[in-house]
Amino acid sequence: MTATKITSQMTISGPIFQKNADQTFLQNVRRMLDEMSQEAAEDIKQQMAVGASSRAELSIGGRVADRVVGRVTRLEGGVQWRYHMVASPSRNGLDKNEAIALYAGSAEVERQVHAFRHTRSAIRVLKPVIRANLMEGLE
């Protein structure tokens, strides 16, 4: 068996890092997190595509990567400005048993590929850069 090395890289650029007096800081953070969540979901899908042909499809049809989505959430009862970026399989439109099958399949793929772990690590490495870019021009 040949070992496959998977690397993740995210590029942070675009209008989010340009000063825009019409938008508040929170709107900029929310927009940045939206963009990052979509990019993270795409990165996870690409990583899951490696070796996908050797894995069985889900019992509900399709592959886990087909259901991975990026989104921004805010915890209920949390601080109003605290948003979280999430990239995970979406169970929208599935009943209880189908959702269980999706999450079981997702756990199995993660054990094999570590797509979520690699993407999370890539984002954590970028935290200082992201923080500096968000604070630029606010002094």
C-beta pairs of 27-32 under 8 Å, 24+ apart in sequence: 28/134, 29/81, 29/83, 29/134, 30/72, 30/83, 32/130, 32/134
List pLDDT tens digits, range 50-85: 888 788 888 888 899 999 999 998 877 766 667 888
Are 108 and 61 in contact, with CB atoms under 8 Å apart? no
- Among left, alpha and beta (phi > 0; psi -120 to 50; other), residue 33 is alpha
pLDDT at 103: 94
Write down the domain spans for the chain: 23-135
SS3 assignment, position 63? coil
Of the candidates 110, 106, 118, 87, the one whose C-alpha atom is nearest the C-alpha of residue 9 is: 118
pTM greater than 0.85: no
Which pLDDT does position 39 carry in this prediction?
A: 93
